[in-house]
Amino acid sequence: MSNSNLFNHLKKAVFLDRDGTINTEKEYLYRIEEFEFINGATDAICLLNRSGHLVIVVTNQSGVARGYYDEQDVIKLHQHIDKLLANAGARVDAWYYCPHHPQGRGRYAKQCTCRKPLPGMLFNAAEELAVDLSSSWMVGDKIADVEAGMAAGCRSVLVLTGYGTEERCRLPYGVESCSDIMEAAKLITAV
């Protein structure tokens, strides 16, 4: 397959942060019983699914490195979210998480390229899922999310849920903000 044919087969994606973007911000969330969607999140993900974008979650999970919970807890929570989304007619196409932190414990205590604001999770997803980063979006409630998207070549949107209201004053010039994930989904699908 030539490079031009390969480019034609690349997919558009919307990369979503998890905590504070899809679900209510709760520090070091891993317990299923503490999970709750932000209002409109399931409908927003449904809208993105219908628009033909892949929906890919990219989330920093330093609670693993800090010893608060383990990777299996992260996976179980993501499986729970998948079930809730399926019941609402929505889906996440892929989950990526970074369990590292420089001040963590054991094998997780390291500098890595996957912890946002670095774009490693987005690059990994692009390679594994044939994503065209230049026609994709990153949506999150922290400047680290916005910077990861920009570093990967995506358009980025800051949502004003979670930490978004506090982070808005640091928003890079030219980056848009939306009140929540639904407003971001409407913006993305209107383009």
The residues assigned a catalytic role are 17, 19
Asked if residue 98 lies in contact with residue 55, where contact means CB atoms within 8 angstroms, the answer is no
Report the Cα–Cα distance between both ends of the chain, in Å, rounded: 29
What is the separation of C-alpha 62 from the centre of its chain, rounded to a whole number of angstroms? 15
- The DSSP H or E segment spanning 63 is helix 62-65
Q: Which of 61, 55, 54 is nearest to 41 (CA)?
A: 55
Residues 6 or more apart whose Cβ sits within 8 Å of residue 18 = 57, 59
Which pair of tokens denotes residue 51? 């628009």
Q: Do 176 and 145 form a contact (C-beta atoms < 8 A)?
A: no
What pairing do the DSSP bridges indicate for beta strands 155-159 and 137-140? parallel
What's the token pair of residue 41? 């999140």
